[in-house]
Amino acid sequence: MGWLWAIIVGFVLGLIAKAVIPGKQHSPLWLTTICGMLGAIVGNAVARALGVETTRGIDWSRHAFQLIAAIIIVFAVDMLYMATLGKRRQGA
């Protein structure tokens, strides 16, 4: 059940990250989901390092770290995806 939640959270974080980033992203949905999953992992690690891993109630700070990490990762991966896609189209 843990993997299912990881995929669902990654999907949601990836979609929110795509919505926040200005302009059109060209990476496919499966790649966005993986980036969202990575954002959740990185965000959890940052929250743990800063001592806000768990709080009473909803962990807003942990979720904020997850979303920020997902936005950064989705943006970086989309840039890399477009760079490699452009090279393929040019025949390089």
Tens-digit pLDDT profile for residues 49-92? 998 866 777 788 888 999 999 999 999 999 999 888 766 666 65
Q: How many domains does the chain have?
A: 1
pLDDT at residue 1 is higher than 70: no
The whole domain housing 34 covers 2-90
Quick: pLDDT tens for 15-41. Answer: 999 999 998 888 999 999 999 999 999
**pLDDT score, position 87:** 67
Which residues have a Cβ under 8 Å from the Cβ of 42 and sit 6 or more positions away?
Answer: 65, 66, 69, 73
Contact 34, 17 (CB under 8 A): no
DSSP annotation string for 15-49: HHHHHHSSS---S-HHHHHHHHHHHHHHHHHHHHH
